[in-house]
Structures are given as C-alpha cells and as structure tokens.
Chain A
C-alpha cells in the first residue's frame, strides 16, 4: 500500500500569495494530522482530523491558516495570505487507532519558502 502522499514537495512563493498543500492519507486510516517543522520550534501540531472531522485546531497559528478534509482520502492546508515566517516544512501524517501501535505514518513533507 502506498504511504502518505503530499504535494507539492517544494514550493517557493512570494509574500501575500495563497499556498495550498495537499495530503492523501493511507487508505483505511481514520486520523489525519498536519504538522509544521522549523529549526526554532521543532514539530508543531497544527490540526488533526478524525473521520474527516476537525477535532483540534488550536495549533493553527492564525486566521490565515485553514484546513479541510472533504473526504477520507484527501486533505488540504491553505495559507492565505502567506508570510515569510510561514517558511517551514509541513508534514501530513495519518494513523488508525485500530492498528494498535499508535504509530504515525508521515508523508515526505512539503517544503515551503515564502520570499
């Protein structure tokens, strides 16, 4: 089975532009997480979904960030307007409580640079 798939792998954009990051979780996984990683702050949880429903978005930095999960196989993280401080690697991860191990499976990440 394919792992978590993220796109784009790299994005360079200018301040003020809209950025959309995409994630396809592992089939059958009912939890999806969006993380942001920077050197300064490490891995930060932005939001997570259970069965396509947002459960906790307290990590979303501000209103410029929004996330959706319209179905079990797709999620987006949108930043509008983007700012240079949003530059980071954004990871999507999924898992299933039924697996039992609690292991999170990460995508390869989307490296965002905002100029």
Chain B
C-alpha cells in the first residue's frame, strides 16, 4: 500500500459545481496534513493545512478523519481558475519528511 493515495482523476466539472477529493494515508501516527495546488508546468504551492477540527478558507473546506485515515478537500462554486492538480501531503509519524500523493487533476469547464 502506498503511503499517500489519491484518485488521479481527472475530475471534469462545470463552473459552479461542488467537487470533493479524498486522500488516504497509511501511517496512523501521521501528525500534519496539507493540501497543495499545482498549476500546469508550475511548482506546488500550499493551498491549506488540514486541522483535526476541520477548517475552511472561502470556498475551500478541508477535513481530517483519523479513524479512517483520510483527508478531504471540498471546493464549492468551482471557478475556471480552480483547474489544477491538488496534492495531498502527509507528515509525521516519526519522520520529518513530507510525503506527497500523486495528485488529483481538476478541470473546471464553462
């Protein structure tokens, strides 16, 4: 089992749609969780951290489910500019190394 697994997609949705991605991780001792966004031919950039209580930033909501070992990202009212690859990142459990998932591709169309 890979350490961090994501559905590669692509998720193809119309503008205004709500879309959700999940990411599962194998190390139950993991402590820090993040979502990064990567635009085509660009570097990854932090979108948001994921806290145990869940957190929201505008149209984006991130949640953590420790019991089932997954994190989720919900995007409401999708915009064309949300088209990108979303990378799940997990850290901790005895390692400082952040482990990246392969990413989920989102395409928002008019």
CB within 8 Å of B: which residues of A?
A: 31, 35, 42-43, 45, 48, 50, 55-56, 91, 97, 101-104, 106-109
Contact = CB atoms under 8 A, between A and B. Distances in A.
Contacts of B91: 102
Nearest to B103: A42
Contacts of B32: 102
Mostly, the B contact residues are strand
Contacts of A91: 43-44
Interface string B28-64: 0000101010000011111001000000000000000
A36 B7 CA distance: 20
Interface of B: 32, 34, 36, 42-46, 49, 87, 89, 91, 96-103
Contacts of A35: 100
Contacts of B87: 43
A42 B101 contact: yes
A102 B100 CA distance: 13
6 contacts: A45-B99, A102-B34, A102-B91, A103-B46, A104-B44, A108-B43
A48 B99 CA distance: 13
Given A101-B49, A102-B32, A106-B43, 17 more contacts: A31-B96, A42-B102, A43-B44, A43-B87, A43-B102, A45-B99, A48-B97, A50-B96, A91-B44, A102-B34, A102-B98, A103-B46, A103-B49, A104-B46, A104-B89, A106-B44, A109-B43
Nearest to A4: B43
A55 to B, nearest CB: 8
A91 to B, nearest CB: 6
A31 B95 CA distance: 13
